[in-house]
Amino acid sequence: MDASKIQFVDSLPVTPGDSSEQRAAEIVMIAEFSRLRGVPLTPARLVLDDGVAVQVDGVAPDYSLLCEAYAHQGPLKGGQGDKVVADAFKLLYLARRWPKAELVLLFSDDAAARTFRPPSKSWVAKALTSFAVKVEVVPVPLNLREELRRAQARQSR
């Protein structure tokens, strides 16, 4: 191989579908929610009695609070809500193991959360309420909101 043709770059180019901004924002959201609640929450890979492993965005040390974060800005479009519904279903599955755990879907934007909580008349909002899954919003700092909006624009094709 001709070494003169090798190029080194500081980082790989960001692909249109890359979600690193969302993952970074979710870490900030969990940290802030943890601070507000006074409960340390950390990401965890939970291995259940049946051997199934489940990745959770925020877990209290005593499993009293299980939280999934969604760092979308603005109203959801098309199938974007499917991830939220899947996260809610994940929390409900975990509630079978920890029935007293508080279950929280955490958003970074009111507009993104709107469909999933009262006064929305959506079946999803009604189902979440009936299963005691709470929908909370922890706004992220302005600079992070702007990064998320740019990422969402890049990701929409």
| Best CA proximity match to 116, nearest among 100, 131, 129 | 129
| Other CB atoms within 10 A of residue 127 CB | 15
Is the pLDDT at 121 greater than 60? The verdict is yes
pLDDT digits (tens, 9 = 90+) for 98-112: 999 999 999 999 999
Q: For the chain, how many structural domains are there in total?
A: 1
Residue 70 sits in a domain whose CATH number is 3.40.1350
Name the percent of the chain lying above pLDDT 70.
Answer: 88
pLDDT digits (tens, 9 = 90+) for 66-86: 999 999 889 988 888 999 999
Q: Are 64 and 102 in contact (CB under 8 A)?
A: yes
Per-residue pLDDT band for 117 (boundaries 50, 70, 90) equals very high
Question: What pLDDT, on the 0 to 100 scale, is given for residue 144?
Answer: 86
Question: What span, in angstroms and rounded, lies between the C-alpha atoms of 133 and 67?
Answer: 10
Asked if residue 5 is part of any domain, the answer here is no
Asked if residue 33 is part of any domain, the answer here is yes
Domain hosting 126: range is 19-155
Is the pLDDT at 4 greater than 60? The verdict is no
Helix, strand, coil proportions of the chain in percent (round to 5)? 45, 20, 40
| Best CA proximity match to 67, nearest among 20, 133, 111 | 133
Question: What span, in angstroms and rounded, lies between the C-alpha atoms of 130 and 121?
Answer: 13
Question: What pLDDT, on the 0 to 100 scale, is given for residue 104?
Answer: 98
Name the percent of the chain lying above pLDDT 90.
Answer: 66
Is the pLDDT at 148 greater than 90? The verdict is no
Asked if residue 84 is part of any domain, the answer here is yes
Asked if residue 59 is part of any domain, the answer here is yes
Asked if residue 11 is part of any domain, the answer here is no
3-state secondary structure (DSSP) of residue 106: strand
Asked if residue 65 is part of any domain, the answer here is yes
Average pLDDT for 87-107: 97
Asked if residue 94 is part of any domain, the answer here is yes
| Other CB atoms within 10 A of residue 120 CB | 16
| Other CB atoms within 10 A of residue 74 CB | 14
Asked if residue 123 is part of any domain, the answer here is yes
| Other CB atoms within 10 A of residue 98 CB | 18
